[in-house]
Structure 1
Amino acid sequence: MPEQRTRLFRIPPHQLGAAQSWMEHGERTPVKPRLAASVVLVRDTAAGTETYLTYRGGESPLGAVAFPGGSLLPSDEELVDWYGPTPIQWSAYLGIDDHQIARQYVFAAIRELFEETGILLAGSDDSSVLENNRGPEWMAAREAVAAEDESFASLLKKRALGVRTDLLKPLSRWLSPDFAHRRFNTQYFGAAQPVNQEASLLTSKGIWGAWKCATHIVQNQDTTALGDETGQELAGGLILSEITVPAVPVTLEKIASSKGCIAYLSHKRPLRTFQPELIEQDGEYMLQVQTNAGTEGGSAQRGR
């Protein structure tokens, strides 16, 4: 068994009231979490492995600064051409008895990545992937899917594309803490940026998004640098754990400890479910998480 490490994270300011109420009034029945999927998109650069982060408004259960992702939708049940592991195989990978739910997790992950970044993990067969995702036509397609004016399945069918599920790697599952007013049961996946595809913000909803070096963020996680960079009032002046959920810094540390994005994505890891626990320490409410110690995918890399 890997060595366990106890981690403590600060609580985002907007959640402090809910945390205090939960502690003062005793435990109650938590809000039922919505199923969600999120994709850790990575690429290698001279400075180290980078991942794409975005700013999310509306007190998202994924965090104010997060990896692309969102809730599963009823339309994620629509059938499309499917390349890679089957839903039954994904059910085994994710430890989910219902292969339909496993299928929706995978499909939602690919859909959300497309909506929020334009990266499309799809091709015309099991060995091809879309080569160009730029231009007004593709932005219009993203807008239509995001507004639910057109289903993602319909978009793929019109373009004779199928989802490349083999380009996704399961990472971990995270449950929002019990005290939160909005909760997600989020399956995190990893994926490498496809050649000739570029990430960009959705015109109508995008606020801030950027490729960030994981090592650099980890080294500066106790500063307000990332929050200040977003230019958003609710993130400025706050450290990393106050603008993210614990899944984000934990994942960033794993990326930073790996020897490149391929090593990170191919690393053999047991699929674990994490849920931060609310505790009080020295008069301050904190989130406590048990994580695995050690590196992933080889030696830690140094940014230059």
Structure 2
Amino acid sequence: MPSSAEPPAAAPRPPRRPAVRYFEIPERQREAAQAWLERGAGIPGSSPTPAAAVVFVRDGDHGVETYLSYRSGNSPLGTVGFPGGTLEAHDDEPLDWAGPSPAEWARKLGTEGNLGRARRAVVAAVREAFEETGVLLAGADAMSTVESVEGAEWMSSREALAVGDVSLAQVLGRRRLALRSDLLKPLAHWVTSDFAHRRYDIHYFTAVVPDGQVASVLESKGSWGRWVDAAQAVADPAGSWLGDLVGKEDTVGRTIDDLSSPGVQCMLESVAECSSAITFLAKKRAVVARNPVLEVHEGRPLLRLDLT
């Protein structure tokens, strides 16, 4: 029996993450990838469109869950991903603001030279989250949040936002609400690979759903959205659990590589690694721009991601 003077056995170290990671190219993007390789890799691609998205988390029965949405078409953000979209001109409109200032957000997001970009990213994240899920990160003051956003009037506001008939500033102003920027946490920054026809420069945030609010799909556009166990979503990269769960013609039988962008996969893995939603939210992260690069690896086109 070891003596009491002996130090306790060291806990096993977690496996070291690889410095480089490769991702399969989704089937919908393979033609564009092949054309890019044939004309010569390294040629600058189109300018990426600024965008923002929110990774909502909560504690589930078996682990941390996150809210995922389905996107039809050929979005570089993936067929299945987090609620989000592009920054719009009306995101610059003045509105009541509570929480970290745009200058503070510029520091958090690494855009110190562009306060407007940081402010638009925060506003767009709140706007897109409300539009796509009905979750509104706003309140009457800096200490409160909207308790319920259900009903025909709120859905009408979401529909109007979706088609650009109103701005978030107008939606909040009519109800005398302030945007609660303190309810968001910076999470990640991803830039779509050069070969894609449509590219995004997207800032991801994370948040929890305020008490009393319930996530729901947009009536006119949303065909699928739900809370998903993050660990189960990434447990079998070669399997089709997530695609079968979504149940759409272009998702059934498909792997997560074929459904989601590298950024979405990495963030799902990050959520899955945490023991609770609070742990995920409290984790300190350096927001570094990640840009998967198309290259031929072991004889086939793949997306290379440098993680150093």
What is the TM-score with the length of structure 1 in the denominator? 0.93
In 2, Cα distance between the equivalents of 1:138 and 1:291? 42
Residues 268-287 of structure 1 mapped to structure 2, 5 A cutoff = 268-287=284-303
Q: Which amino acid aligns with 2:218?
A: L
Q: What is the CA distance between 1:8 and its match in structure 2?
A: 1.4
Q: Which residue pairs with 2:217 in the alignment?
A: 201
Amino acid of the residue matched to residue 127 of structure 1?
A: M
Confirm whether residue 12 of structure 1 aligns to residue 7 of structure 2.
Answer: no
**Correspondence for 2:84:** 69
Q: Give, as a single letter, the amino acid of the residue that structure 2 aligns with 1:165.
A: S
Q: Distance in 1 between matches of 2:69 and 2:237?
A: 16
Alignment deviations for residues 151-206 of structure 1 (CA, whole Å, 9 cap, x no partner): 11101000000110000000110000010000000001001121111000000000
How far off its partner does 1:220 sit? 2.8
Structure 2 Cα separation of the partners of residues 231 and 281 of structure 1: 32
Residue in structure 1 matching 2:99, options 84, 87, 93: 84
Distance 2:268 2:307 in 1: 13
* Structure 1, 206-215 or 23-32: larger mean CA deviation: 23-32
Matching residue's letter, 2:32: A
SS in 1 for 2:286: coil
Cα displacement (A) at 1:61: 2.0
CA distance in 2, matches of 1:114, 1:66: 16
Amino acid at match of 1:85: P
Look up the equivalent residue of 1:22 and give its one-letter code: W
Return the offset for 1:131: 0.5
Q: Deviations over 1:105-162 (max 9, x none)?
A: 0000000000000000000111101101111111111001111111111010000001
Tell whether 2:36 aligns with 1:22.
yes
Mean Cα displacement is larger for which, 69-78 or 230-239? 230-239
- Counterpart CA distance in 2 for 1:192 and 1:100 is 25
Determine the C-alpha separation between the residues in 2 that align with 1:62 and 1:270. 22
Query: Taking structure 2 as the reference length, what is the TM-score of the superposition?
Result: 0.92
Number of residue pairs the alignment of both structures matches: 291
Match of 2:206 in 1: 190
- How many angstroms apart in 1 are the aligned matches of 2:183 and 2:200? 24
Q: In the alignment, which residue of structure 2 is the partner of 1:127?
A: 143
Instruction: Determine whether 1:260 maps to 2:245.
Output: no
Superposed displacement of residue 229, structure 1: 2.2
Q: In the aligned structure 1, how far is the partner of 2:264 from the partner of 2:25?
A: 13
AA partner of residue 110 (structure 2): G
Is residue 2:160 matched to residue 1:144? yes
Corresponding residue for residue 232 of structure 1: 248
Counterpart residue type for residue 135 of structure 2: I
Q: State the 1:3 CA deviation.
A: 6.0
Equivalent residue number for residue 54 of structure 2:
39
Offset, 1:232 = 1.9
Cα shift readout 1:202-258 (whole Å, capped 9, x = no counterpart): 000001111000111111332112112222222222100111100111001111111
State the one-letter code of the partner of 1:13.
Answer: E
Pairwise CA RMSD = 1.3
Q: Where does residue 211 of structure 1 map in the other structure?
A: 227
Q: 2:124 aligns with which of 108, 112, 115?
A: 108
SS state at 1:287 partner: strand
Give 3-state SS (helix, strand or coil) of 2:118's partner. Answer: helix
